[in-house]
Structure 1
Amino acid sequence: MNLNEKIRLIRRELGLTQSALAEKLGVTRASLGAYEEGRAAPSYQFLLSLADLAGTKVDDLLRESNRIKVARNETPGQIPLVPVRAAAGYQKGFPDDEYVSELPHISLPFLGKGNFRAFEIMGDSMLPLPSGSIVIGEKVERLSDLKDGRTYVLVTRNEGIVYKRVFNHIRDQGVLTLVSDNSKYKPYTVDPMEIHEAWAAKAYISQEFPMGSRHPDSYRDAMGSGG
């Protein structure tokens, strides 16, 4: 791992944007960006400050083959939330740490450690999940790791942000099949090249409680019979 890669890794491990880390270290965001991309060499003072912030040593930063373990707070952080009104902007802004940092955030400590993101899902295609629910997903780095029959939030080039049940046919057909839980919507295929991000559904938040499976009259009957 090269020095520029270590600088980028440390920033991300600390959960800081380029602007935030640059301010802490007394440099401009442009300079930090140049260090991360390997277009400029940081000063020794910068490396001292960075090593101190990361709880490591300058020697560890300078050894090309050495990986960095950042000493950081292990408390689960807040999760960026992509509301419906921000969905269009997210399709373009998702690679930008600054953009993501400005999104609303929610805290769900029970999820533990991981790279999570929350998405507001509208529509009835995934009923019984109510429209307006917030689905929390964990980042899937490789589309080949998508599991058949699991649900994912997909950030796509042409379809926007969709929440679907996925069947992985990349190896044999070169496509993913997306299926809605609501049977009135037909399955369709998508080219993996159209997908920017995939997030495996881990939890959801809704202001609507699930309906009981019994007819309301059956509850009255049960109460009347004392059962």
Structure 2
Amino acid sequence: MEAAKVFFRSNLRFLRNRKKYSQEHLAQLLGLTRSKYTALENGQTENPPLVDLIRLSEFFRIPVDYLLRQDLGRWSEYELRKLETGAKEYINGKNLRVLSITVTPDNKENMEYVPVKAKAGYAAGHADPEFLAALPKFSLPNLPAGGTYRMFPTTGDSMLPIPEGSDVVARYVQDWKTLKPDSLCIVILKGERDFVFKQVTLQGDGTVLLRSLNKNYAPYTVRVDEVLEIWQYVKHQTDKLPEAGTDLQEIRQLLLDVKKRVEKI
């Protein structure tokens, strides 16, 4: 059987030259040493670490398997731009979208909890095995089988009536096209931003609409390539008791009672 061709080395050089970066400048942007980046580009690293592959994929906005198996130097500029701006294959998960996980000694997936103090660093560390290994781990009963789950803390009041400070249990979404409009999700965004808990709608123009349950917050959009991960809401936990019924609720109940009495007459 003929060995699969790997274009990782030549693709790195091509993508760097396309952006007109020196090796030293690109290494700085990636947070790597010059020697480590040079070794990657020159093929001196036989098995590049998964974390480095994901970092390069996110920086160049090119899926990992394209970095490895496609000769990007033969692609047209139009094809490259289409790939960078959220190609269909990236949205539906047919390309390699790597999710780092941790497992128990008997090889079962853990459920990690992202505490508030780790919230701001999750986007940077989501693919780092050491970051994930340091997160608290636990299990919950009665979750649907076959999924990968993680628990995220929420802050702020943008998702009321889900109480502030709730912990959201969510399932990892591989194929984003399976999401129905306004699906409740935890969305992991690139850059220095925290992850967000929003109603998610995938739009046909390569953007994602993010909407709060609290109507005091305006909806906004992000590009597909700004999204690292999507986790769909399953349930939430809170230590806050429901508030007592409001006057309006009491009035509504009185009107319903009157209606029932009238119907009996």
Identity of aligned residues (%): 32
8 Å contact from structure 2 (residues 122, 194) kept in 1: no
1:206 paired to 2:238 = yes
Distance 1:144 1:77 in 2: 25
Distance 1:124 1:35, change over 3 A: closer
Aligned residue in 2 for 1:116: 149
- Letter of the 1:178 partner, please give it: L
Query: Which residue pairs with 2:97 in the alignment?
Result: none
Gapped runs of 5+ residues in structure 2?
1-45, 51-104, 255-265
- How has the CA–CA distance of structure 1 residues 142 and 77 changed in structure 2, closer, same or farther, with 3 Å as cutoff? closer
Q: How far off its partner does 1:101 sit?
A: 1.8
Match of 2:196 in 1: 162
**Per the alignment, do residues 110 and 73 of structure 1 end up closer, same or farther by CA in structure 2, a change over 3 Å counting?**
farther
Q: Is the 8 A contact 1:77 1:107 kept in 2?
A: no
What SS does structure 2 have at the residue aligned with 1:111?
coil
Q: CA deviation at 1:36?
A: 8.6
Match of 2:81 in 1: none
Paired position in structure 2 for 1:187: 219
* TM-score scaled by length of structure 1: 0.59
Which of the residues 174, 195, 205 maps onto 1:141?
A: 174
Q: Are the structure 2 counterparts of residues 184 and 217 from structure 1 closer, same or farther at C-alpha, using a change threshold of 3 Å?
A: closer
Distance 1:181 1:82 in 2: 22
Look up the equivalent residue of 2:157 and give its one-letter code.
D
The aligned runs of 1:54-93 (5 Å cut-off) are 78-93=110-125
User: Deviations along 1:148-196, whole A, 9 cap, x unmatched?
Assistant: 1210001101432000001121xx2211110000011000001010011
CA deviation vs aligned residue, 1:68-111 (integer Å, no higher than 9, x gap): xxxx959x754101122101221111112222121012321221
Aligned counterparts, 1:98-109, within 5 A: 98-109=130-141
Query: Given residue 165 of structure 1, which amino acid in structure 2 is its aligned partner?
Result: Q
**Contiguous gaps of at least 5 residues in structure 1:** 1-32, 38-71, 223-227
Which amino acid is the alignment partner of residue 206 of structure 2? Answer: G
* SS of the residue 2:142 aligns to: helix
> Once superposed, which parts of structure 1, at least 4 consecutive aligned residues long, lie more than 6 Å away?
none
Equivalence for 1:21: none
